[in-house]
Amino acid sequence: MKVLSYIFFVFITAKLTFFSSALCADSFLQGITAYELENYELALIEFEAAVKDSPSAAAHHNLGLTYLKLNQLPDAIWQIETALRLDPHNDQYAFKLTSLREQRLGIFQEPVPKYLKLARLLQINQWIVTCTICAWILLVVILMPKFTRYSTGAVLQLLLIISCCILPVGITAIVINYRAQAGGIIMAEAPIELRSAPASAAPQTGNARPAERAKVIDYHNEYIKVKTEGQATGWIPKKAFRSLKTSNTDA
């Protein structure tokens, strides 16, 4: 009886998973159809549903294009930035994002340093797995001769050398990618004033452009202190900033 109950539970779980995936795919395809028919309001609803159910790079990208058609530039750039973070080697996403920032914001992309290209070869969770494997290889090679009668052969010695080379690179890449997660987008339709203190009456220190990239420096109640890519620093309301962390939510 217990076996039958377990089989029934697995069957129902599989069915629900399949049904959920089918709904997500259906929303994505309906979004494409609505977009092609220039029904952008409906496309927005469908792509938002697709992102909520399964936040893939393609869903974020298409949602960004839909926001662009609706003249909601900050949301459009945030979605395409997120798509590129989920799929960092997609040249199409990178080209569209660069073009948008240059044509709409007047922000020109500087050449990406080689160390950043190396850090972006893998996502942060993939670098963590790689470093973990390398660390285990190091432990095995170092401890094997001490606790067993076997000595490390040529293959293990080669793995040791490779691991010693990859591990520092991987740790550096994790740090670089982790710091990049502190970034986000200024979510405003017009330039927003930066303040010298977390208060609306504080003196103005500069402006942040709509959809401009920024990094969080400090927090205080409903305000955050940011540094924009234009090197302006100041406090803004939290609601005027959206993090670019790749997660299942848009928060």
Segment 20-66, tens digit of pLDDT: 444 457 889 999 999 999 999 999 999 999 999 888 999 999 999 99
The residues, ordered by sequence, that sit 6+ positions from 38 with a Cβ below 8 Å of its Cβ are 69
Task: Locate all alpha helices (DSSP H) within 87-211, ordered by sequence.
Answer: 91-105, 114-119, 124-147, 154-180
- Domains of the chain with bracketed CATH: 2-105 (1.25.40.10), 115-180 (no CATH), 183-243 (2.30.30.40)
**Beta pairing partners, 5:** none
pLDDT of residue 179: 75
Instruction: Write down the mean pLDDT value for the chain.
Output: 83
- Mean pLDDT lowest for which of 133-147, 195-209, 215-229? 133-147
Q: What is the DSSP letter of 238?
A: G
Q: 67 or 104: whose pLDDT is higher?
A: 67
| pLDDT tens-digit series, residues 154-199 | 777 888 889 999 999 999 998 888 777 668 999 988 899 999 999 9
Residue 237 has pLDDT above 80, yes or no: yes
pLDDT of residue 24: 52
